[in-house]
A and B are shown apart, each in its own frame.
Chain A
Amino acid sequence: MSVEATVTPEEAPPVMAGDDTPPILAVEGLAKQYGGRIGCADVGFRLWPGEVLGIVGESGSGKTTVLNCAAGRLAPTAGRVLYSAADGATHDVHAIAETDRRRLMRTDWAFVHQHARDGLRMGVSAGANVGEPLMALGARHYGRIRTAAGDWLTRTEIDADRIDDRPTTFSGGMQQRLQVARALVAEPRLVFMDEPTGGLDVSVQARLLDLLRGLVTELGLAAVIVTHDLAVARLLSHRLLVMRRGRVVETGLTDQVLDDPQHPYTQLLVASVLQP
């Protein structure tokens, strides 16, 4: 007899192989020149709701340049970034007016920086850091903002009684979790992360990874995450983009790229990882 709580095949939802929902983000022919130097060239990818795309490669491979262009923070030299909003409208991120782009970045997107201090306001309290994005979206009720901020501190495993403390009094791992709370409080549809676990101790890193993994699944977020750490990429991302010298050299399912790498550079990257 089977275990009573297992589902029968009849209950199982149909397989959705290659369903035709439109991507939330489409990056086409992206290039960025810094003077005569190539930041990135010929970069294209699409991202669907609920999907996490990892961009891996060594420092200087152009992955952060791609992230910044895709996130609307850096104007590309060529190519475009198309964002499909919840109402079905498509926005050409670098062609729309600055004010519209800023509004998208505030309402629909979030960015998590490698260094927490780049994403936080160090001079105000933890609660204010988390409440601010809500106020920017028009929330005015102090009690509700404070409650939401408290909830998000708890969700990111920060003691709620630290709500009035400044982030300068927090450890590195706590600051990073606070940045995540600030990024996600306004319920973005799309999150960009630049080496979110970089510079943290491994135990602190594991906690943050677990947190990010849970939140991404729970909230059904689409995310682009840049990391040089292949273990982080394996844990968080569904698909990978491998970059070298500004170009994409390999792309595919995360475990396929890591277990059966095809490009010489990907093989070298995978072979260079220390196995604990």
Chain B
Amino acid sequence: MTDRLRIENVGKRFTLHNQGGVAIPVLRGVSLAVAGGECVALTGPSGAGKSTLMRMIHANYRTDEGSIRLRADGQAPWIELAGADPRAVLAVRRGTLGYVSQFLRVVPRVPAREVVAEPLIALGRPVEAARAAAEAMLARLNLPEALWRLPPATFSGGEQQRVNIARGFIHPYPVLLLDEPTASLDGANRAVVLDLIGEAKARGAAIVGIFHDAQARAAVCDREFEIAPLGAVA
């Protein structure tokens, strides 16, 4: 498989203007290429910048230094995310780049089923088909049917996480980011998530993830990529 994600020499520092302008460097000179069908685990101590790198790929953090490019398949043109126009980033997130974050950002009053169906509706799929797909995915993740019509705000951590996972896997994104996808799940649901990740790899998705769950990491990741902390001084 050819590369679908190429991170080249990226650096990130946060400048806190209201804390006397202190600069906190988090990443420097990070390069990583991920091929289609490959799952790479980011490792390193807490605070080393694993989540920062994930957010830079998702582009809710800016990439000030270096380049992050991705493409939908081996033939598609590369899309540069560093400094990309907001509309280009949104288009990439709609069809190419999926993200399972650690916590669900709950929108008041939106039922679980709609939360999961939303990415498909945004891609122009008929609402009924999108809802059917959402229900199938929620059923697969063993979320009780009684919860499908309820907003996830009052769900348990594990239930919210399954809604989040269903939303992230509802569309076959060519590139996937997974932040602790098996945290707060019981054994049966953990197995479903590992299957979903395996299926995504089999259809050629390039996956980058953070897995503190060593067994899960061993089960689905092809290699590890260590991020070493830079320390507090620039």
Contacts and interface: CB of A to CB of B under 8 A. Distances in A.
Given A12-B95, A256-B60, A260-B61, A206 B108 contact: yes
Contacts of A48: 87
B218 interface: no
Chain B interface residue bracket vs A: 35 or more
Interface in B122-142: 122-125, 129, 132-133, 136-137, 140
Contacts of B89: 253, 256
Interface stretch (B155-163, B169-177, B207-215): B169-177
Contacts of B17: 263-264, 267-268
Interface stretch (A1-9, A33-41, A183-191): A1-9
Interface string A115-132: 000000000000000000
Interface string B84-116: 111111111011100000000001111000000
Nearest to B86: A253
Interface in B141-188: 169-172, 174
Given A209-B108, A264-B17, A5 B60 contact: no
A239 B84 CA distance: 13
A16 interface: yes
Nearest to A234: B105
A235 B110 CA distance: 12
B218 to A, nearest CB: 23
Chain A contact residues, majority secondary structure: loop
B171 A252 contact: no
Given A3-B133, A7-B120, A256-B61, A15 B76 contact: yes
B123 A13 contact: yes
Nearest to B118: A217
B123 A18 contact: no
A17 B60 contact: no
A268 B94 CA distance: 31
B73 interface: yes
B37 to A, nearest CB: 12
Nearest to B122: A217
Nearest to A213: B107
A259 B58 CA distance: 12
Interface of B: 14-18, 55, 59-62, 72-73, 76, 79, 84-92, 94-96, 107-110, 120-125, 129, 132-133, 136-137, 140, 169-172, 174, 199, 203-204
